[in-house]
Each structure stands twice: as structure tokens, then as C-alpha cells.
């Protein structure tokens, strides 16, 4: 659905292999968990930006 609508899908749930040290309770992440989550998000955004030549478009305005 995201692809059809032109929306970037970031598979955080699929790639986030959480351990007990990633959470301080049932829903709050520790800094380790937040770091892992932001690494996943950042990697996918960077890849999308590269594939879509976003930096070239920004720099060549």
C-alpha cells in the first residue's frame, strides 16, 4: 500500500530485534533501544534519499 501511494515504508518492527536491555518497561525504550530504532530509520531514509537523488535536487536549486 505504501508503495502504491508513494509513501516511504520503514520496517522498524521487522528489523528491531529487541532484547530486555532495549526497554525499561513494557513500552519505554532505553537509550540502547532508541539508538537501534533511530539507526534503522536513518538507514532507510538515507537509502531512499540516495535512490531518489534528493541531495542533488536540494543542492542544484
How do residues 34-57 score in pLDDT, each as one tens digit? 999 999 999 999 999 999 999 888
Average pLDDT over residues 20-39: 95
Of 43, 45, 37, 33, the closest CA to residue 8 belongs to 45
Q: At residue 29, what are phi and psi to the nearest 5 degrees?
A: -85, 150
Whole-structure pTM over 0.85, yes or no? no
User: In this structure, what is the dihedral angle of CA atoms 53, 56, 36, 40, given to the nearest 10 degrees?
Assistant: -10
- Residue 1's pLDDT is 86
Provide the pLDDT confidence category of residue 32 given band limits of 50, 70 and 90.
very high
Helix or strand run (H / E) with residue 3: helix 2-5
Amino acid at each position: 500500500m505504501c508503495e502504491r501511494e508513494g509513501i516511504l515504508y520503514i520496517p522498524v518492527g521487522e528489523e528491531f530485534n529487541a532484547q530486555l536491555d532495549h526497554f525499561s518497561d513494557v513500552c519505554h525504550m532505553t537509550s540502547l533501544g532508541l539508538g537501534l530504532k533511530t539507526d534503522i530509520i536513518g538507514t532507510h531514509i538515507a537509502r531512499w534519499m540516495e535512490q531518489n537523488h534528493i541531495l542533488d535536487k536540494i543542492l542544484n536549486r
